[in-house]
Amino acid sequence: MAINTASAAISFGKELEQEGAKFYEDLSQKYPQYKDTFMSMVRENQKYAVMVQEAYFSVISDAIEGCFAFDINPEDFEFKTRLSETTDNSEVLSKAIEIEEIMVKFYTETTEQSKSLLGDMSRVFGLIVRKRNARITILKSM
């Protein structure tokens, strides 16, 4: 089912951030050599969820919420976080990069779709895109 309202888009984004945070938290326990990096990513995911929520609260009104501001298919942004016990480091990092690329795609799409009605949210989404692209660079260097 497509996501059409700002509230639904924010809820879906928060859900993605929570899934990602859980993924990195699990990795921090499984790979102690990357614990600091992965726990930093957990904190960032939590921060991004709060940033989006705050931007939403600062601009939302019944008029905007009542209209359809987005056209997002959640299936386009699904990712799996479960890894097998035999997954090696390179596969783990590839999976992390894949998740980040999906998140960049989500925030890029929401940035574009929210520009006309939800400028503050669009700016927050764009900031998160830049930070996630930097995260991809970090993961690739690991």
Domain limits for position 116: 6-141
- Interhelix angle 6-30/89-114, rounded to 10 degrees, is 160
Give domain status of residue 27, yes or no. yes
Give domain status of residue 54, yes or no. yes
Give domain status of residue 74, yes or no. yes
Q: Over the stretch 115-140, which tens digit does the pLDDT of each residue have?
A: 776 667 788 889 999 999 999 999 99
Give the chain's domain count. Answer: 1
Give domain status of residue 99, yes or no. yes
Rounded to two decimals, what is the model's pTM?
A: 0.83
Give domain status of residue 37, yes or no. yes
**Could you list the pLDDT tens digit for every one of the 142 residues in the chain?**
788 877 788 889 999 999 999 999 999 998 898 999 999 999 999 999 998 888 777 666 544 554 556 788 989 999 888 888 788 888 889 999 999 999 999 999 988 887 776 667 788 889 999 999 999 999 999 8
Dist CA 73 CA 57 (whole Å) = 23
- Interhelix angle 119-141/35-59, rounded to 10 degrees, is 170
